[in-house]
Chains A and B, each alone.
Chain A
Amino acid sequence: MQTQDPTDLLAEVLAKKAGGFVELRFHKRRTRSVAVEKGRVDSSRISEHTGVGVRVLEDGTWGFASTDRVESAAIEKAIDDARRAARASAAKRKERTPDLPRVELARGRFDAPGIDLIDKPIDEALALVLRLEQDARKASSAIQSASSSYTELYEEKGVVTSDGAKAWSRLVRPEFRIMAVASEAGELQRGVERVGVTGGWECLFQHDSPEVLTERASRTAVDLLKAGYPSGGRKRVLLSPNLVGILTHEAIGHTVEADFVASGSCARGKLGARVGSDLVTLCDSGISEYHEGAGGSLPVDDEGVPTQRTTIIDGGKLVSYLHDRESAAAFGVAPTGNARAWEYDDEPLIRMRNTYIAPGEQTYDELVAGIEDGLLLDGAGNGQADANGEFMFGTLTARTIKNGKLGELQRGVNISGQAFDVLCSVDGVSSEFRWDLGSGYCGKGQPAKVDAGGPWVSCEVLVGGRQ
């Protein structure tokens, strides 16, 4: 199941085909998943996808090719193909990419915690999702249907470049999801709980047991049947850590990816400018900060750059973008370890890892008490941000706050705002911190496994309720 470190083979091939910049990336992904709905096993799957991606810089132009055969002749041919593709298009390139500056590149072996999980038989996960799906259906007579799933991504990567990287890394990312659908008088409502980490089984359920997650999903579905809709308009809201995570990822993170900055995102030209209140410090890190297991953790990026914590906003001021090697050279800074490719046949792009707002000093109770008329929003739905900083994301539930007291449950809504305006409206940040989007994927042409989170945050947004 585990592959022998292929970086020596990659280095030998690279030596044989030396000339210009060449990056060889071995990637094996083994996915194990089980999914159950209403007592039926819908999916029970093991999938492997293995190969080598080749990227070259030839005539100042990038060429890329891949092979699913991890052997010298196939990799050499892929190098030739990549060079041929680059040369075929070089005449159309207006500005040649200069040679990449020398930077510190990773060498050695990097194993993330928890990789023993892949030796655990899948039986236990299957038994768990079967039992919990049944528990969810039994939780209330109003529950019509339930589903539960477990997915585990095991990744091995070997990156070797002509300018010195030679890194072999392994990690595993398990995810668990439970959903209950309740029905009453022809109306359907659902409750969903999901967790995902970079780590082992214990890490996956470090905060809440699977039984607690199941009970919560069932209760949410039933309670939402009787809940009303919030009214729309601009409101002060208290965002839960998972919604803070969505805010940092969608509203801020994408706008500071250096490729998007260069295209003209709303963060362009704002380095050093105030973009949030003093309470806002926002980072993206390849390391799991504050708590173990953040779902987007990775020791080395797909260009062989060691990952690190990148502070994007420091006390309300924009201080850095997110870079790969090429953009870092163009901006005259060091790369931040954000080059990521989904599979061996994808080229590396600038992607986030674990994005968060750093914790503050207030308690959750103090934040609730400080809101006169607003909403507590929880449960992250999908989200999207625009070039102009306008973002939207969905919430699963809302709860009214009147005069500092929590009120009735209401149905989730979508919220929107302009990213930096919302950060400037932040007037409270809790000391509690949580990673809470580890089961999420980011889409940017390719998927990427990311995480995001933070403290509870009080801010002002546009709420899309009913008129």
Chain B
Amino acid sequence: MGSTDTTRVRDAATTAAELSGRAARLCRRALDAGADQAEVYSVRSQKIGVTFEKGDLKLSQVDDGSTLGVRVFKGGKLGFASTNQASDEALAGVARDALALCALNPPDDANRLPATRAAAPALDLIDPAIQALGIEEVVDYGQRFLDRAAQHDARLAIDKASVELHFTTHSLVNSEGVELSESDAALGTSIFGMAIDGDDVGGFHYTGDNIRRASRIEASLASAADEFAEVCLGNLNTGVGESYNGPVLFAPDAVLDLFVAPVVSAASAIAVQRGRSALKGKLGESIAHESFQLLDDPTDLALTGAASFDREGQPIGAFPIVENGVLASYLYNAYAAAVEGRESTGHAVGGARGLPGLGPHALSMAPGQGGDRDALLRSMGRGLYVMRFSGSIDPASGDFSGVAKSARWVEGGQVVRSVREILISGNAFELLRRFVALSSTAPTLHGAARAPWALVDGVSVTAG
């Protein structure tokens, strides 16, 4: 295909060795500068991408960059600095910055690196056929993706579509002897646009996927393109809905935003420790309908967050958060764990440009037994079907309010029209107990998480 090295990614072993070597040098500099403990997290990201706008190829792009972030502890104090520059001078500067910040901060007994633990089994994150893709192949996949969507109907207006190969290597080195690295190759797709019929401009829709296996590329492109076309065309010819309080069917995207996200936010041990979690004191208690099961599963290779270690080098694996409606565990990173004198659950997250945060890696909400989407529409009979939620959710209280996007009005168990200007509101934690049924499948959402369709009672609906 005539590509050169610059438009193809490099091999994993060389990249990991280079990155770890640089991280080890920075770690040593931080210790030499006076740190009690030091940790360097580094990421090298190589990208080959193509973007289409308004149905035509817009831009091809190749990028390659690395960032190193150093966290230091001294006398219980914390400091952090990062740089994307590779020179010895830059590494010395970033170590100095981290120590200078460290000196300013108040001490905290929980400020320390986590205990070193045995590594989790390595994951098979790289398909050589994905890694070998060059700019020509990425452009070709992009064109086929665009064509697949556009062929559905001339009324489709594809504002933006992209296909990007990401080859990422991350490495963690710390002063306690931990030295880990992992590489990942994935093809990401996204498409955004709407349908236009004369003066009728439909609401926009976006979708996409993240694929690690070359054997799945064709099916993934087709699925995303077909879904995009179906939803955009369905957003034309909107009518009005009705105001009511009652059952609403939520598509997986909306389920993730409205119900999964507030639970995960409230299950943060830091939120609990600091009194801003609605799930404080609820460990082992029922917090949701028994059908609600939530797992964080970074061993699921279909999800973007698959990895074998967290942002602090702790091993990670499948981790239940809610089982049969009962809160099974809070999520801990090293700091939150140290506050309670326990072990981290491996939920340190984040990149190389900031301190480790706390969160899940690869959420998977289990399906139920309610059949497919159409069976759930029949169960609801009459009411609102919401594909996407555009609004705000207060993470502390669980109150939410916002617009139901790509919404459909349902009568006699069937979609009868698309509806506009329809708002929904309620409280996520109250509504978790009012699940009526979940679909029997839980598809992946943009490659990032899994969730089923959910029929939920007691939702407040306001029609314009």
Chain A residues packing against B (C-beta within 8 Å): 37-38, 40-51, 61-69, 77, 80-82, 84-86, 88-89, 92-95, 122-123, 126, 130, 144-145, 181, 183, 186-190, 229, 232-234, 259-260, 262-266, 345, 347, 381-382, 384, 386-390, 392, 394, 411-414, 416-418, 445, 462-467
**15 A-B pairs (CB sep. < 8 Å):** A37-B274, A41-B105, A49-B353, A50-B85, A64-B62, A145-B274, A145-B276, A188-B278, A189-B394, A229-B425, A266-B201, A394-B391, A417-B464, A445-B160, A464-B423
A351–B397 Cα distance when bound, in Å, is: 34
A88 touches B60 (CB 8 A): yes
Output the nearest chain B residue to A96 by Cβ-Cβ distance. B56
B85 touches A48 (CB 8 A): yes
A45 touches B243 (CB 8 A): no
The interface on chain B, measured as residues whose beta carbon lies within 8 A of the other chain's beta carbons, has a size of 87
Q: Does B408 contact A (CB under 8 A)?
A: no
A38-B274, A84-B135, A390-B403 given; A264·B101 CB < 8 A: no
Q: Does B369 contact A (CB under 8 A)?
A: no
Interface flags, B54-85, vs A, CB<8A=1, else 0: 11111111111111010000000011111111
Q: Does B106 contact A (CB under 8 A)?
A: yes
Report the minimal beta-carbon distance from B420 to chain A, rounded to whole angstroms: 6
A263 touches B84 (CB 8 A): no
Output the nearest chain A residue to B4 by Cβ-Cβ distance. A84
Report the minimal beta-carbon distance from B279 to chain A, rounded to whole angstroms: 11
Report the minimal beta-carbon distance from B248 to chain A, rounded to whole angstroms: 12
A80–B105 Cα distance when bound, in Å, is: 46
Chain B residues packing against A (C-beta within 8 Å): 3-4, 6-7, 50, 53-67, 69, 78-86, 94, 97-98, 101-102, 104-106, 108, 135-136, 139-140, 142-143, 157-160, 193-194, 196, 201-204, 243-245, 270, 274-276, 278, 353-355, 390-392, 394, 396-397, 399, 401-403, 405, 420-421, 423-425, 460-462, 464
A232–B425 Cα distance when bound, in Å, is: 10
A264 touches B462 (CB 8 A): no
A41-B105, A262-B54, A414-B392 given; A85·B401 CB < 8 A: no
A381–B403 Cα distance when bound, in Å, is: 14
A85-B62, A188-B278 given; A416·B392 CB < 8 A: no
**Which of A82, A232, A266, A411 counts the most chain B CB atoms within 10 A?**
A232
Chain B hits for A67, CB < 8 A:
64
A265 touches B201 (CB 8 A): yes
B403 touches A94 (CB 8 A): no
Q: Which single member of A123, A386, A466 contacts B405 (CB below 8 Å)?
A: A386
Output the nearest chain B residue to A41 by Cβ-Cβ distance. B105
Q: Which single member of B56, B59, B81, B391 contacts A414 (CB below 8 Å)?
A: B391
A49-B353, A85-B60, A388-B202 given; A411·B101 CB < 8 A: no
Report the minimal beta-carbon distance from B247 to chain A, rounded to whole angstroms: 13
Q: Other than A48-B94, A464-B402, A466-B460, give 9 A-B pairs with Cβ distance below 8 A.
A: A37-B274, A46-B97, A48-B84, A81-B62, A85-B60, A92-B140, A130-B106, A387-B194, A463-B423
Chain A hits for B158, CB < 8 A:
263
A268–B334 Cα distance when bound, in Å, is: 52
Chain A hits for B462, CB < 8 A:
232-233, 462-465, 467
Q: Which single member of A47, A92, A384 contacts B82 (CB below 8 Å)?
A: A47
A123–B101 Cα distance when bound, in Å, is: 9
Q: Which single member of A49, A68, A122, A145 contacts B104 (CB below 8 Å)?
A: A122
Closest 4 CB pairs of A and B: A464-B423, A232-B462, A394-B392, A144-B275
Report the minimal beta-carbon distance from B91 to chain A, rounded to whole angstroms: 12
A19–B139 Cα distance when bound, in Å, is: 24
A394–B400 Cα distance when bound, in Å, is: 10
Chain A hits for B203, CB < 8 A:
386-388, 390
Q: Which single member of A49, A63, A81, A464 contacts B401 (CB below 8 Å)?
A: A464
B105 touches A392 (CB 8 A): no
Chain B hits for A347, CB < 8 A:
59, 61
A68–B86 Cα distance when bound, in Å, is: 9
B399 touches A411 (CB 8 A): yes
Chain A hits for B204, CB < 8 A:
386-387
B244 touches A42 (CB 8 A): no
Output the nearest chain A residue to B103 by Cβ-Cβ distance. A123
